[in-house]
Structure 1
Amino acid sequence: MSNTGHDGEVVECPNLTTTLTLNAVASRRSILGNGLPIIRHLPSRTQRLIGPWCFLDHIGPTSLNPDNAVDVGTHPHTGLQTVTWLFEGALLHKDSLGYEQIIEPGELNLMTAGYGICHSEESPPGFSGPMHGLQFWIALPAEHEDTAPAFSHHRDLPQWEQDCAQLTLVVGELNGHRSPAQVFSPLVGADIVAREGGELSLAVPEHFELGLCINAGGATLEGSTLETGELYYLGQGRDRLRLSLDPGSRLMLLGGEPLSQPVLLWWNFVGRDQTRLENALKDWQQWPNTRFGDVPAYQGGPLKAPALDPTVRLKG
């Protein structure tokens, strides 16, 4: 989805590699579009990145009908991949490559922006019902940030039972399992569901920065309570997570190798320096063009980019 903030803030995303820790991220609640409640976990004033993950919206839970349907108009992205993962509901993706794809729970939409792509996101026609899910952005490494744009949809993802939980590997690698979705740096995104509750002991890569997003229910890690609707930053240094999961709990484990590169984020653009962001903005202001193509399947106008203050300068 689009970062629909209107302040045009330029956000520097430093690499916050640390030893192991356990901190709740200072998240923000807001309303997207026609009334879709979201919790914006990343970027936060206290946490910009977790590995290469640079953006995370917790969508809902809410109930939608045709009067308050999702309708995020055509907008651009650069330098990132979007990961869409739903627990309830459905979304319709349309993009400038010509893809139209409905996503439902248990399926993955992965869009690689690379040098540049445009897309829209809507509720499917006539959709009514609950809506709940996550959307992430993965910052592409510098050597891949100008890669050709692409889109893929995956229904067959690795799943396995472990202790009290069912795990689905959405992207990356974990415990000998590998997602079919193409990513460009070592990372993990895994959905953990414990319907009956209990204890889970999960081996994790010790060199990864890790986070846990608590999407339903609750959990305990190392004697600390993890509450619904929160994102927790775990730092680096653990080779195993020992979790006590409440009945009905649902968590997302995310993380990866920290990027040893600066990451700047402004509106819907990710880049290694401000010139890249400025050039992307100029190209978007001349839409449509060879970089940011039209999305003819979307019936509506494009989103307008907030102004970028030319006096604001950041060091990578």
Structure 2
Amino acid sequence: MSNLDRSPGVVTCGGRADTPGEPVLELHRAREVTLGERTKVRRLLPSLGRRLVGAWCFIDHYGPDDIAEQAGMQVPPHPHIGLQTVSWLLDGAVHHRDSLGSDVTIHPGQLGLMTAGRAIAHSEQSPPVHPAQLHGAQLWVALPGAARDMAPAFELHTELPTLTDRGLRATVLLGELTGAASPGTVHTPLIGVDLTLAAGADVRLPLEPDFEYAVLAPSGAGTVIGSGAAVGGDSRGGRPGIEVAGAEVADVSVGLGDLLYLGTGRSELRIRTEQASRLLLLGGEPFDEKLVMWWNFVARDGAEITDARADWMAGRRFGAVAGGDPQPAPAMPATPLIPRGRAR
């Protein structure tokens, strides 16, 4: 999915300096963003105070929306560099077309993984005949320096590994969980897992202590059990949109529109649910490299973004893709595009 904001902000992130070396419980509230004419999303990452979770650098959660009498998602052709897009549907269908010639419809439970590399363009639209509900998440993964200029690619994986336990069904989108490995191609150590939890579930998931993690709730809610040290404020939050739990707090509820950042240093995660819920667990090794994110581009400096924008507007480099008129790029910001740290 494109960032259709006509005045996108500059996001600078990366490097390990601001990654906590211990478990934390940092609750971030989403902000609502309108994409196109109708689609509203909850933007969870980047946020004020948290820009990356491992290599995960962008999270939009949309729906559930009733589109029975509407066109649904209508994202026109737009460009990307330096990242992977991860399309994950809970309900509905999305028609993906790109400048490689890919022409597929993504359904719930299937992984649409597009690697932009040096340049790709794509469009995303609800099919003319589509399900009544649209609900899902669009996520971006930053590519490391060794892969950011690679040839673009697209993968559709219709079958993903799952793990089941009492009250839990875990689907591995990317990475590996207890031996269940996703077929999706990754370029840094990371993980993404869809957790379907029954009402009354109480589960424990093994974690990599060297990874940093976050949990969000596309549907329902969950309670994360475990203490965390205060970061950046008192127990009600030191920054707008953030609540930070002190070490004495044992339980934190993650509801719709929340992202709970967990920090590093955890060997397991315990989650309890009172109602049937869907959660996403995202994590990875803290990203060493510093980045600049602007519009649909992830780069290492402002010059890369300036060049990418110029090429898109001139019809160079990205190729053609069906799905309507190409989306014009916003004007470049007046402030310099300079990479800085991972968190404010």
TM-score normalised by structure 2 residue count:
0.88
1:73-92 per-residue CA deviation (whole Å, 9 max, x = no partner) reads 00000000000010001100
- Deviation of residue 34 (structure 1)? 3.1
Greater Cα offset, 273-282 or 132-141: 273-282
Residue 304 (str. 1) matches residue 328 (str. 2): yes
> Secondary structure of the residue that 2:309 maps to in structure 1?
helix
Q: Percent identity?
A: 42
- Which of 111, 114, 119 is residue 114 of structure 2 equivalent to? 111
Aligned counterpart, 2:278? 250
- Deviation of residue 246 (structure 1)? 2.5
1:107-134 per-residue CA deviation (whole Å, 9 max, x = no partner) reads 0100000000000000012224011111
Q: Distance in 2 between matches of 1:301 and 1:65?
A: 25
Any gaps of 5 or more consecutive residues in structure 1?
none
Any gaps of 5 or more consecutive residues in structure 2?
226-250
Q: Distance in 2 between matches of 1:40 and 1:157?
A: 26
Instruction: Kindly indicate whether the alpha-carbon contact (under 8 Å) linking 1:37 and 1:62 is maintained by their aligned counterparts in 2.
Output: no
Residue 274 (str. 1) matches residue 298 (str. 2): no
Q: Distance in 2 between matches of 1:134 and 1:83?
A: 8
Instruction: Kindly indicate whether the alpha-carbon contact (under 8 Å) linking 1:43 and 1:49 is maintained by their aligned counterparts in 2.
Output: yes
| Superposition map of 1:60-71 within 5 A | 60-65=63-68, 67-71=70-74
Aligned counterpart, 1:89? 92
CA RMSD across the alignment? 1.4
Residue 46 (str. 1) matches residue 72 (str. 2): no
Count residues with an aligned counterpart.
Answer: 312
> Secondary structure of the residue that 1:284 maps to in structure 2?
helix
Residue 265 (str. 1) matches residue 293 (str. 2): yes
Aligned counterpart, 2:178? 175
> Secondary structure of the residue that 1:39 maps to in structure 2?
strand
Letter in 2 for 1:306: P
Aligned counterpart, 1:314? 338
Instruction: Kindly indicate whether the alpha-carbon contact (under 8 Å) linking 2:5 and 2:34 is maintained by their aligned counterparts in 1.
Output: no
Aligned counterpart, 2:268? 240
Aligned counterpart, 2:224? 221
Aligned counterpart, 2:259? 231
Q: Which has the higher contact order (CA 8 A, sep 6+)?
A: 2
Residue 17 (str. 1) matches residue 19 (str. 2): yes
Instruction: Kindly indicate whether the alpha-carbon contact (under 8 Å) linking 1:34 and 1:70 is maintained by their aligned counterparts in 2.
Output: no
Aligned counterpart, 1:292? 318
Instruction: Kindly indicate whether the alpha-carbon contact (under 8 Å) linking 1:91 and 1:103 is maintained by their aligned counterparts in 2.
Output: yes
TM-score normalised by structure 1 residue count:
0.95
Aligned counterpart, 1:36? 39
Letter in 2 for 1:117: I
